[in-house]
Amino acid sequence: MSVAPADVAKIATLARIKVTEAELSAMVPELNGILAWVEQLGEVDVTGVEPMTAVIPNHLRLRADVVGADPLTGGDIRDKVLANAPAPEHGFFGVPKVIE
């Protein structure tokens, strides 16, 4: 499978990355080169093979159901959460108008 400029433009939209026409035309052959190379995986016989889900067997744990049990990941740190926001407003993350 290979991608055309329109496909790359669509992927870029899905990925929320604005690309110029010049960037787009440079990316098409690069992405096609990489895609043609990874397509050799199609020749591997994977009949009956399960896709990898975890490289090292592990079990999922549940944390104790206690608010703020770990102060690093607990709540009540609004100002710290907002400290790096580009546009905090009234204790919230500020964003441009969403409803047209």
Partner 1 sequence: MSELTELGIAAIRDGVAKGDFTATEVAGAFNAAVAEANPALNAFIVTTPDHALAAAAKVDAARSSGQPLGKLAGVPIGMKDLFATEGVQTTAASHILEGFIPPYESTVSQKLWDAGAGMLGKLNLDQFAMGSSNETSAFGNVISPWRATGDTAARAPGGSSGGSSSAVAARIAAAATGTDTGGSIRQPAAFTGISGIKPTYGRCSRWGIVAFASSLDQAGPMARDVTDCAIMLEAMAGFDPKDSTSLDLPVPQWSTNLSDDLKGLKVGIPREYRLDGLNADVAKSWDDGIAWLKDAGAQVVDISLPHTRYALPTYYIIAPAEASSNLARYDGVRYGLRELPEGAGLQDMYAATRAAGFGPEVKRRILIGTYVLSAGFYDAYYTQAQKVRTLIARDFENAFKEVDVILTPTAPTSAFALGEKTSDPLEMYLNDVFSVPASLAGLPAMSVPAGLDGAGLPLGLHLIGRPFDEQGVLNAGLAIERRAGFAAKPAKWW
At 6, list the tokens: 């329109």
With respect to partner 1, which residue has the nearer C-beta, 53 or 91?
53
With respect to partner 1, which residue has the nearer C-beta, 61 or 90?
61
Note whether 77 binds partner 1 by CB under 8 A. yes
Q: Which helix (H) or strand (E) holds 93?
A: strand 92-93
Note whether 40 binds partner 1 by CB under 8 A. yes
Cβ atoms of 68 and 61 closer than 8 Å:
no
Note whether 50 binds partner 1 by CB under 8 A. yes
Cβ atoms of 27 and 35 closer than 8 Å:
no
By C-alpha distance, which of 30, 38, 35, 20 is closest to 9? 20
First to last CA, the chain: 38
SS3 state of residue 33: helix
User: Interface residues for partner 1 in 80-99 (CB under 8 A)?
Assistant: 80-81, 83-87, 93, 95-98
Residues of this chain that bind partner 1 (CB under 8 A): 1, 3, 7-8, 11-19, 27, 30-31, 33-35, 37-42, 44, 46, 49-56, 58, 60-61, 63, 70, 72-73, 77, 80-81, 83-87, 93, 95-98, 100
